[in-house]
Amino acid sequence: MSFAPAFDAEFRANLRVLLAWRRDVRRFRCNPLPEGAVERLLELACLAPSVGLSQPWRFVLVNDPSRRAEVRRNFAVCNAEALADQTPERAAQYARLKLAGLDDAPCHIAVFADRETTQGHRLGRYTMSEMIEYSAVAAAHTLWLAARAEGIGMGWVSILDPRTITAILDVPANWKLIGYFCLGFPEAEDDVPVLQRLRWEERRPAASFLLRR
Amino acid sequence: MSFAPAFDAEFRANLRVLLAWRRDVRRFRCNPLPEGAVERLLELACLAPSVGLSQPWRFVLVNDPSRRAEVRRNFAVCNAEALADQTPERAAQYARLKLAGLDDAPCHIAVFADRETTQGHRLGRYTMSEMIEYSAVAAAHTLWLAARAEGIGMGWVSILDPRTITAILDVPANWKLIGYFCLGFPEAEDDVPVLQRLRWEERRPAASFLLRR
């Protein structure tokens, strides 16, 4: 048993700034991440909560140019289809959004969830097997916050076909794609979400999401 | 455009401590949370990333004793079934784990994802509709970290039947249960996961989850 740390008001204020400035970064500078940064961030990501301590997250660092090109191609296909799904007015706006930092980001990390892992002995997954995916999401979110604390931006690309990405990256077919992440130093920074700046959507206050029972 | 904050080494060291001490808390003191704490924490949770700025998280603060009792009953049923799923040796160990703080925690919050929300105009969900659930998971994880920074512990209960919980809490049937959370001041604190202390499972190093492609 160790003595629990107490966090002071200054830390809490900074944590709030971190959460507010986390941002989904879409435009990156091309310069690489500092040596050892990825390994350091992934170590922190592994402190995320996981159901039954199953640690089902799997990180794939994608460096091979031909695999990156294939991922980029899959994004282009899916992006065009997603565009067709929007009303004409929204589609024009959507086309102007640069939705992926795939071209510029120096670091690409795909995050998967291994649904078949025996680590954790299936504890806590009996009624909600998706807890495995949720644990990997928590790891991705931790990675995001840890990166931002080092001044590194991250963007979540979800307009991809999971099965195609699994094949491109040559990982087990039963691994579930959680997201494909671009990391790098941001070209510009802002504490207002890009979709809000572009008037795609507004943020709503917490009270509008709260019910009492 | 605002000027981005730079986080210093001291903040990063404290963030690491926060991640390490987040813990899934199972044993709580009965004293209530400070006035306004829940609203303050939920406000921070709403800074989480969400696909297309859809903010699909829905928080249900459960105070009614009869609803709490029904949730407790559902946990007991599901827990017994989960027990039957384990080997005899593990089952005995599992039975000794106090898996829910449902009896003692002063604050209960159910988190749901509203898959039908039109906020965000369906952006980014075309190929991975589960991004809605993942956004709500990020909000729950943010709540967890923000709570810990105030010395408040949180435990994630997943051994519940989602459809039953949706009915008990009288929320729309298409809301998907992400988790049922107990919050309160921890009875004891530790930076080692309870499942590791009980030798249920060991944590593994980040390198064991990393592939290069």
Whether A24 and chain B come into contact, CB under 8 Å, resolves to: yes
**Do the chains contact at B19 and A51, CB–CB below 8 Å?**
no
What's the token pair of residue A30? 């091309």
Whether B155 and chain A come into contact, CB under 8 Å, resolves to: no
Nearest chain A residue to B44, by CA: A16
pLDDT tens across B41-89, in order?
A: 999 999 999 988 899 999 999 999 999 999 999 998 998 888 887 788 7
ipTM of the complex, rounded to two decimals: 0.93
Res B162: pLDDT: 96
Contacts of B12 in chain A (CB under 8 A): 149-150
Contacts of B144 in chain A (CB under 8 A): 49
Q: Over B75-118, what HEC string results? A: HHHHHHHHHHCCCHHHHHHHHHCCCCCCCCCCEEEEEEEECCCC
CB B177 within 8 A of CB B165: yes
Q: pLDDT grade, residue A99 (50/70/90)? A: low
**Do the chains contact at A137 and B142, CB–CB below 8 Å?**
no
* DSSP letter string, B144-178: HHHHHHTT-EEEEE--S-HHHHHHHTT--TTEEEE
**Mean pLDDT to the nearest integer, A128-156:** 96
Whether B120 and chain A come into contact, CB under 8 Å, resolves to: yes
CB-nearest partner of B24 from A17, A49, A213: A49
Residue B96 has pLDDT above 90, yes or no: no
Whether B5 and chain A come into contact, CB under 8 Å, resolves to: yes
CA atoms within 13 A on the CB side of B113: 20
Res B138: pLDDT: 98
> With a threshold of 0.80, does the pTM exceed it?
yes
Distance of CA B155 to the CA centre of its chain: 6
* DSSP letter string, A52-105: GG---EEEEE---HHHHHHHHHHHHHHHHHHHHTS-HHHHHHHHHS----TTT-
Q: pLDDT grade, residue A1 (50/70/90)? A: very low
Contacts of B94 in chain A (CB under 8 A): 123
Interface size, chain A vs chain B, as Cβ–Cβ contacts under 8 Å: 308
CA distances from A83 to A26, A75, A147, A206 (A): 18, 12, 30, 30
Contacts of B203 in chain A (CB under 8 A): 46, 53, 55
Q: Which amino acid is at B175?
A: W
Contacts of B196 in chain A (CB under 8 A): 53
Whole-angstrom distance, CA of residue A18 vs CA of residue A79: 30
Q: pLDDT grade, residue A131 (50/70/90)? A: very high
Res B63: pLDDT: 97
Among A73, A79, A98, A128, the strongest candidate for a mutation testing the B interface, having the largest count of B CBs within 10 A, is A128
Contacts of B190 in chain A (CB under 8 A): 1-2, 4
Res A73: pLDDT: 93
**Do the chains contact at B59 and A209, CB–CB below 8 Å?**
yes
Give the residue carrying structure tokens 């592939």. B211
Contacts of A47 in chain B (CB under 8 A): 16, 19-20, 22
